[in-house]
Chain A
């Protein structure tokens, strides 16, 4: 693996609108108590559909690129 990507959240910014949940092609996300929850992180394919459309900059792909 050249890099280890992770799906991250800023839960304080999330307003629970569900746009990310709707557009996630792998059903990684769900809404719980009016906030988005990363329910199945292992299923994430890092396609960035959530990050691209989240109106609140509250979900994103992060991680450490080890440069290989």
Chain B
């Protein structure tokens, strides 16, 4: 197949090209996931990728792992069952902004609260792309969508703050432009034994971009290039963070992991009781 070695080794190349629109940031973010898995040399048989519904959630179909495309918003609940049933599996959830924080918001906060060892990667394109451009929980205030014809009056979620507040033990954010940072964050997220959350700011030139006059794919990438600042820079020089999007590793605070805690209970009580 006419592609690089990473693609050959980790993709179901017969399923490409993928369904995403020209310039969609999701392909770039998906590559960051794959490169992180490659870097960590994870066994493909031991990796499960779970997704919900939406543009982001089509990713698993292209990847050569155990892959599960579930119902809208529910990926983390399915993933919880998989991880508990077989804790040896690496479980990665690929989800979108609507999938993870609207219809799936409850599952997100509770999976984070339990600190179950699942790596959640959100491809955040600020819109419902698959259904044609409706506003999502991360569409900025005042922005336009097919269901906010007069400007969005919802206030957007800061997904990373949400995940951290709910108990996620690893949290970070990068963008489709900052792909190497994205890859590094995913690597560390996978290595964190607990619930990890990485937000990848994507671009949707077709709907969000067009509705809000953000330009083409290159211009949307350039926006991230020019308007994102790493949290470490801002920690030293706070004024550099003014009116900027923060990226980088926000939180890394390992705590007891759910399936390990459960195993302690099994080790103590297995074989006891009975009739």
**Which A residues are closer than 8 A to B by beta carbons?**
8-10, 12-13, 15-19, 21-23, 51-58, 60-62
B residues 122-144 with Cβ under 8 Å of A? none
Q: From residue A56, how far is it (CB to closest CB) to chain B in Å?
A: 5
Whether B17 is near chain A, meaning CB under 8 Å from some CB there, is yes
Measured between beta carbons, the chain B residues less than 8 angstroms from A57 are 3-4, 7, 11, 16, 27, 31
A17 in contact with B11 (CB, 8 Å) = no
Prevailing SS type, chain B contact patch: loop
Q: From residue A44, how far is it (CB to closest CB) to chain B in Å?
A: 15
Given A23-B221, A56-B27: A17 and B4 interface contact (C-beta under 8 Å): no
Complex Cα gap A8–B31 (Å): 17
* Subset of 16 A-B contacts with CB under 8 Å: A15-B17, A17-B23, A18-B216, A18-B217, A19-B28, A23-B218, A52-B28, A52-B31, A53-B28, A54-B28, A55-B31, A56-B17, A56-B18, A57-B11, A58-B3, A60-B4
Measured between beta carbons, the chain A residues less than 8 angstroms from B217 are 17-19, 22, 55
Residue of A8, A16, A22, A56 ringed by the most chain B CB atoms within 10 A: A56
Given A21-B218, A22-B221, A55-B26: A62 and B4 interface contact (C-beta under 8 Å): yes
Measured between beta carbons, the chain A residues less than 8 angstroms from B31 are 52, 55, 57
Measured between beta carbons, the chain A residues less than 8 angstroms from B20 are 55
Q: Chain B: how many interface residues by the 8 Å CB criterion?
A: 29
Measured between beta carbons, the chain B residues less than 8 angstroms from A21 are 218
Whether B205 is near chain A, meaning CB under 8 Å from some CB there, is yes
Residue of B7, B18, B27, B205 ringed by the most chain A CB atoms within 10 A: B27
Given A53-B176, A57-B11: A10 and B3 interface contact (C-beta under 8 Å): yes
Complex Cα gap A13–B20 (Å): 11
Mark each residue of chain B from 1 to 43: 1 if its CB lies under 8 Å from any CB of chain A, else 0.
1111001000100001110111111111001000000000000
Q: From residue A20, how far is it (CB to closest CB) to chain B in Å?
A: 9
Complex Cα gap A53–B205 (Å): 15
B218 in contact with A60 (CB, 8 Å) = no
A18 in contact with B27 (CB, 8 Å) = no
Whether B179 is near chain A, meaning CB under 8 Å from some CB there, is yes
